[in-house]
Amino acid sequence: MPKLTIFHNQQCSKSRATLKILEEAKGSYSVVNYLETPPTAAELDALLNQLGLEPEAIVRKGEDRYEELGLEAKPPRSRAEWIDVLVKNPILIERPIVTNGKKAVIGRPPENVKALLAID
């Protein structure tokens, strides 16, 4: 099994459940507490490519910060603008994201990570 990386938020129950699946799989993984260590724009761009998603698809629109920034009224238009918003406001990034370096999944539901673990 390849080494995995989880972009984790300890306060999130789905993130904790996804981390538990990784722990039980007894594989090699690393944890990035992305609120403390946000991804760079290049890292986030790579994750989005691995997810096969555009930035707006991983935005947590229910977060207070989304409203504080006025993103509903005037959302960013380009991919680069969205990435910039997410890097500067990592609380808006959907969580958890797990990657093996080539492919990534969002752990919602947590069982999504099993596709990267090659287990059922």
d(CA 107, CA 120): 15
Is 44 part of the annotated catalytic residue set? no
Catalytic residue among 2, 12, 46, 51: 12
User: Tokens 């609120």, residue?
Assistant: 35
In this structure, what token pair is assigned to residue 43? 């890292």
Pairing of strands 104-106, 97-99: antiparallel
Active site residues: 12
